[in-house]
Amino acid sequence: MTGVGIVGTGISGLQLALRLQQSGVPVTVYAEEEVDRLKGARPRNFPARFGRTQQRERELGVFAWDFADAQVRHWAVTVRTGDPAPLEFLADLTPPSSVVDFRIYLPHLLNAFLDRGGELVVGDRPVEEIAGRHDLVVVANGNRSMRRLFPVDRSRSPYTGPQRILCAGIYLGIDEEVPHSLDIHFLPGAGEILRLPFYSPAGRADVLAFEAVPGGPLEGICHADPDADPAAFRRQVLDLVAVHAPGLRERIDTAGFSLTAPGELAQGALTPVVRQGWARLDDDTCALAVGDAWITNDPLTAQGANLGSHTAFALAELIAGGTGPFDEEFCRDACARLWEHARHVVEWSNAFLGELPPHVGEVFRRAAADKRVADAFVSNFNDPVTMWRTVSGPDGVAAFLAGFDGA
Ligand SMILES: Cc1cc2nc3c(=O)[nH]c(=O)nc-3n(C[C@H](O)[C@H](O)[C@H](O)COP(=O)(O)OP(=O)(O)OC[C@H]3O[C@@H](n4cnc5c(N)ncnc54)[C@H](O)[C@@H]3O)c2cc1C
């Protein structure tokens, strides 16, 4: 076997590479650029990795951040419902999520792969060339360059444009009400404001993120240029927080509030899409897509990296357990099996971008009155299948809430 070629050194590609390596399958990773470039890059994402992802990392022997400064243990949720007082609840997230900057996380995984004898090829190479060298090529790189191979699957992609516009930075000067907690403010019609602890290259800091509904009151900051006038940008951020999340504003020290360094900010928008998960290449070989190359979710439900990790393990099992050939039939079958799990993430994530349905409002109301409901709801972010079964309709919510009746 000439093994598997993996294009991309994000969480999906690296966890797949490490898992195949563990299973004794020959694997080569293809990276666009040297790993040191990643360390010096601007932040592109702020992924929270839930318990199941951390468990997979432990199985791979790469989990390295078992300390409080890299964890979220509680969620403080505020929902503006139109009533004068918002709904509020504090929930325990069990197990805690891990919040490590990918500029720390990804080089750590890549180095583990290399230390164990893994092969890395750096440089831009056509997928067709890579496919010619291996039994199977897996594209795990959500970059634009790979998209031509995997057209959008319209039947699984309800949106044709971004549903949120993002402005998220890594800041100093924000205090926490509850240590190691995340704040999320749901602002119907406007979007969401989040604050979460984050283990960044500058050490423990906080991510402050605006997920703006296009055309709504949070959108302006997503287009403001922090480099052109840093003081004006800072003022605009503080003013928005004061209006839409006043409790959070009270915990920001105006004098000490700043990005951890210039450029530690990500702004932009993505359209949530599911792409065709496999492609036939020129010479009748096939390429599979995983991670963001296959499915791009809006970050709101914090699932993209977790889904990439889940898919990496599931695909590694199919490859290691397969007898070959890794042809079109294998790719088609693998894709169908992986979708069985992934569809829950996609349908839930897409639903959360729309208006708050009454049955989800009911979960929030019960969570505000009963901490057991709050804890269970928040902890289900670690279990997207259960989460989607719960919030997909009134029956799921009724069954979920019935579990707390009478106890
Ligand atoms: C603002 C934001 C917040 C997010 N929050 C969450 C969350 O809380 N939980 C969650 O599960 N998902 C979250 N996501 C989604 C998650 O980041 C992606 O789904 C995931 O990183 C996809 O990984 P991948 O390996 O499939 O593909 P890609 O990310 O496309 O990886 C492929 C290539 O991208 C490069 N790359 C990846 N990350 C970085 C980086 N940080 N800096 C520089 N280069 C990089 C690498 O070179 C790699 O080869 C968030 C995304 C954004 C934009």
365, burial (CB in 10 Å: exposed 0-12, middle 13-18, buried 19+): middle
Q: Which helix (H) or strand (E) holds 365?
A: helix 358-369
Nearest atom (ligand 1) to Cα of 304: 19
Q: How many alpha carbons lie under 13 Å from residue 131 in its C-beta half-sphere?
A: 20
Q: What is the pLDDT of residue 1?
A: 58
Residue 89 placed within a domain? no
Residue 82 placed within a domain? no
Mean pLDDT for the stretch of residues 205-227:
97
CA distance 99 to 82: 32
Nearest-CA residue for ligand 1 atom 25 is 10
Residue among 45, 150, 383 to mutate when testing ligand 1 (max atoms within 8 A of CB): 45
Contact 89, 368 (CB under 8 A): yes
Q: Which residues contact 186 (CB under 8 A, 6 or more apart)?
A: 77, 78, 79, 80, 192, 356
Residue 336 has pLDDT above 70, yes or no: yes
Q: Which two tokens stand for residue 290?
A: 């995983």
Ramachandran bin of 117, using left for φ above 0, alpha for ψ from -120 to 50, beta for the remaining angles: left
What is residue 199's three-state secondary structure? strand
For residues 234, 244, 198, 103, the Cα torsion angle rounded to the nearest 10 degrees is -60
Of residues 257, 191, 199, 225, the one with CA closest to residue 71: 199
Q: Which residues contact 115 (CB under 8 A, 6 or more apart)?
A: none
| Ligand 1 centre distance from Cα of residue 304 (Å) | 7
| Ligand 1 centre distance from Cα of residue 305 (Å) | 6
CA distance 183 to 245: 10
207 and 303 share one domain: no
| Ligand 1 centre distance from Cα of residue 405 (Å) | 40
Do β-strands 203-212 and 165-172 pair in parallel, antiparallel, or remain unpaired? antiparallel
Helices assigned H by DSSP within 263-327: 304-321
The phi and psi torsions of 201 (rounded to 5 degrees) equal -60, -20
Q: What is the pLDDT of residue 50?
A: 98
Please provide the average confidence, as pLDDT, over all residues in the chain.
95
On the question of a cis peptide bond just before residue 358, with omega within 30 degrees of 0, the verdict is no
Mean pLDDT for the stretch of residues 92-119:
97
Contact 140, 8 (CB under 8 A): yes
Beta strands in 100-164 (DSSP E): 119-122, 136-139
Residue 192 has pLDDT above 80, yes or no: yes
258 and 305 share one domain: no
188 and 227 share one domain: yes
Residue 25's domain is classified under what CATH number? Answer: 3.50.50.60
Last residue of a domain, one of 269, 291, 324: 269
Q: Return the DSSP state at 213.
A: P
- Is 342 a pocket residue for ligand 1 (Cβ < 6 Å)? no
Residue 122 placed within a domain? yes
Q: Which residues contact 365 (CB under 8 A, 6 or more apart)?
A: 87
**Structural domains in the chain (count):** 3
CA distance 369 to 364: 9
34, burial (CB in 10 Å: exposed 0-12, middle 13-18, buried 19+): exposed
Q: What is the pLDDT of residue 407?
A: 60
Range with lowest mean pLDDT among 37-41, 154-158, 163-167, 193-197: 37-41
Last residue of a domain, one of 333, 352, 371: 352
Residue 368 placed within a domain? yes
User: How far from each other are the two terminal CA atoms of the chain, in whole angstroms?
Assistant: 57
Mean pLDDT for the stretch of residues 325-329:
92
118 and 15 share one domain: yes
Q: Which two tokens stand for residue 244?
A: 């839409």
Residue 208 placed within a domain? yes
Per-residue model confidence as pLDDT tens digits over 242-298: 999 999 999 999 999 999 999 999 999 999 999 999 999 877 789 999 999 999 999
208 and 331 share one domain: no
Q: What is the pLDDT of residue 179?
A: 97
| Ligand 1 centre distance from Cα of residue 10 (Å) | 7
Mean pLDDT for the stretch of residues 186-197:
97
Q: What is the pLDDT of residue 203?
A: 96
Q: Which residues of 87-108 are buried (b: 16+ CB within 10 A; e: fewer)?
A: bebbbbbeebbbbbbbbbbbbb
Q: Which two tokens stand for residue 13?
A: 């590609």
Higher pLDDT, 141 or 214: 214
Per-residue model confidence as pLDDT tens digits over 121-159: 999 888 989 999 999 999 998 776 678 899 999 999 999
16 and 143 share one domain: yes
Last residue of a domain, one of 269, 300, 319: 269
Residue 197's domain is classified under what CATH number? Answer: 3.30.9.40
Quickly tell me which residue has 């020290």 as its tokens. Answer: 253
Higher pLDDT, 32 or 313: 313
Which CA distances in Å does 88 have to 146, 208, 366? 43, 19, 11
Residue 335 placed within a domain? yes
Range with lowest mean pLDDT among 38-42, 75-79, 199-203, 391-395: 38-42
Per-residue model confidence as pLDDT tens digits over 225-254: 999 999 999 999 999 999 999 999 999 999
Q: What is the pLDDT of residue 242?
A: 98
257 and 138 share one domain: no
Mean pLDDT for the stretch of residues 22-26:
97
Residue 318 placed within a domain? yes
Residue 367: domain span: 357-407
| Ligand 1 centre distance from Cα of residue 266 (Å) | 12
Predicted TM-score (pTM) of this structure:
0.96
